[in-house]
């Protein structure tokens, strides 16, 4: 049996003051703002920006092309998606087919939510287990699959 073992760890990260990253985590080629916490078993890929005073809980996956604003909470097991399988399958390295995600300030995303390539405005709460498939342009509480507005804030 032959295999290649690759170790990533924490590589090429631009981090502000008082950033905490708990190992084991794969965090590489990204920017992290002041006073942000990243829990264990998190992957933050290159070309991701995480703002100031954020908390990223364990087992979250933040793929390339995601921007997270300031004072955000990302719950356990939250998955961000950048490939919509536009041609019936994965882009297979064709990054031109990938889409970006923009999360505003003061956004809380509950555990096990899935966030497709969307924009989410400031002051939004996404319920646990929700699937966000469309842009959110109004502050409020959203939940479900697909996520729908439950209450304005």
What tens digit of pLDDT does each residue of 8-24 get?
799 999 999 999 999 99
Q: Helices (DSSP H) in 14-82: which residue ranges? A: none
Confidence band (pLDDT; 50, 70, 90) for 60? very high
- CATH architecture of the domain formed by 10-83+93-152: 3 Solenoid (2.160)
pTM, two decimal places: 0.95
**What Cα–Cα distance (Å) separates residue 13 from each residue in 18, 27, 30, 62, 97?**
14, 7, 5, 14, 25
């Amino acid at each position: 049996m032959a295999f290649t073992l690759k170790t990533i760890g924490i590589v090429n990260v631009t981090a502000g003051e008082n950033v905490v990253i708990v190992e084991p985590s794969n965090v590489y080629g990204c920017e992290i703002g002041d006073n942000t916490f990243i829990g264990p078993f998190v992957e933050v890929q290159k070309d991701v920006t995480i703002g100031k005073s954020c908390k990223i809980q364990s087992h979250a996956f933040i793929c390339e092309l995601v921007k997270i604003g300031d004072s955000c909470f990302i719950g356990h097991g939250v998955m961000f998606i950048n490939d919509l399988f536009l041609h019936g399958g994965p882009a297979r390295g064709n990054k031109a087919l990938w889409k970006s995600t923009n999360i505003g300030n003061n956004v809380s995303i509950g555990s096990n939510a899935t966030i497709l390539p969307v924009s989410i405005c400031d002051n939004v709460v996404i319920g646990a287990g929700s699937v966000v498939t469309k842009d959110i342009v109004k502050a409020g509480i959203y939940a479900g699959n697909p996520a729908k507005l439950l209450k304005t804030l």
